[in-house]
Amino acid sequence: MSRYLGIDFGDARIGVAVSDEMNFMAHPLETIFVKKTAPIPRIRTLAAEKSVSKIIVGMPRNMDGSHGPAAQKVRAFIDALAAAITCEIIPWDERMTTVSATRALHEAGRNAKQQRNIIDQAAAQIILQSWMDGQPDPFAVL
């Protein structure tokens, strides 16, 4: 079975999460620091290493559902990624994921300073898990 990657795109950092082998659970994978590492080649490498068939990219939306300037940046990133990789790329609503990730990390006992390097991974995990939870269960008995 192939796996999925979740991406939380940011100008400075990109959070990456990966599904387990059965595609039931999303797990934080890494944070790509954009100034230190070219993100698209790194994502391509991760996709190959993890046998990924789909990449779920968080698409920012305003609370009313409309797209703003941040969504244009993500759309450009998706277009560049699609030109460099053969995986299917799926944009997914990421509203409130960073807030949810911050809350979950705080509840796990991490303060703001401790969260800084992993918050994007946690947001990517939430994006990916949300998408997976919205898919039909391939093992459901009809």
Q: Which residues, 6 or more positions from 38, have their beta carbon under 8 angstroms from its beta carbon?
A: none
**Res. 62: pLDDT tops 80:** no
Write the CATH number for 81: 3.30.420.140
> Could you tell me if 132 and 24 are in contact, meaning their C-beta atoms sit under 8 angstroms apart?
yes
Confidence (pLDDT) at 61: 73
Residue 61 lies in a domain: yes
pLDDT at 36 over 70: yes
What pLDDT was estimated at residue 1? 74
pLDDT, tens only, 66-120: 667 788 999 999 999 999 999 999 999 876 566 666 666 566 665 555 556 777 8
63 within some domain: yes
Cα dist from 28 to 7, 13, 43, 62, 75, whole Å: 10, 14, 14, 25, 23
Instruction: Of 9-13, 41-45, 118-122, 126-130, give the range with the top mean pLDDT.
Output: 41-45
Question: Does residue 39 lie in a domain region?
Answer: yes
Domain encompassing residue 39 = 3-94+108-133
Residue 142 inside a domain? The answer is no
Q: Longest Cα pair distance anywhere in the chain, in angstroms?
A: 49
Within-domain flag for 140: no
Tell me how many domains the chain contains.
1
- Is 141 among the domain residues? no
